[in-house]
Every structure is written in structure tokens, then in C-alpha cells.
Amino acid sequence: MGSKMVQEKINGNFIPAIPWEWIKKLQAPIGRYTFRVALYIWYQKGVKKSRKDLIISISGINNFFRIDRKAFNRAIHELESLGMIGVERHTGRSPRVTIEFGENVVKN
């Protein structure tokens, strides 16, 4: 009789696969916290199962990485200027982020 393959469940937080175009953009000289914010955005993409309308809050990211509000805002601006994310901002609210990839990201 055939043997059943037992699959172990691995618990924890995982970041979905990141496109190579994103990795290449993160190799540029970037701010100290930009890489961490980028990883958190990809983590949120996996949790929400969408690349659009991700609410990226300072309190949410601080559950994973310690980062102050100014560094957080600089990192969001830097990722936006690199063409990696689109950002919708509203006063007094966390930014709403859309991940850009594919042809939109490989612009140099």
C-alpha cells in the first residue's frame, strides 16, 4: 500500500515572495529604515492577499520593527520616489499604499 506523506505545519509570520525588480531597487543607496518598511509592506500584502489599499500604520510596523514616525515617513517617501509604491495620504490617518511592480518598477 502507498505511504502517506506527512506535512508539518510551520507556524509564524511569513513574507510572500518578493519580485526581483523590488530587490534590485532596494540595492540602491537607501535610508536606514526603508528596507524594513518595504518588508513590512510585503508582509501586509500577504496578510491582506492584495497589493492595493494596504493601510501601513506606524503602530503596525512597530509590532515587527522599532521605527520612529519621522523615519517611517521618510521610508514611505523614499519607496514612493523609487516607484515601488503608490501612496494615498490623508491628514491624521495612516497612508494607504498600493504596491507597484512589473514594468512600473524597473524604471531607472
Alpha helices, DSSP H, located in the chain: 20-26, 34-48, 58-61, 69-81
| Within a domain: 40 | yes
| Within a domain: 1 | no
Cβ atoms 68, 52 nearer than 8 A? no
Q: pLDDT confidence of 108, banded at 50, 70, 90?
A: very low
Q: Output phi, psi for 6, to 5 deg.
A: -95, 125
| Within a domain: 12 | no
| Within a domain: 53 | yes
49-90 pLDDT, tens digit each: 888 999 999 999 999 889 999 999 999 999 999 999 999 999
Query: What is the count of structural domains for the chain?
Result: 1
What's the predicted TM-score (pTM) here?
0.78
Range of the domain at 94: 20-104
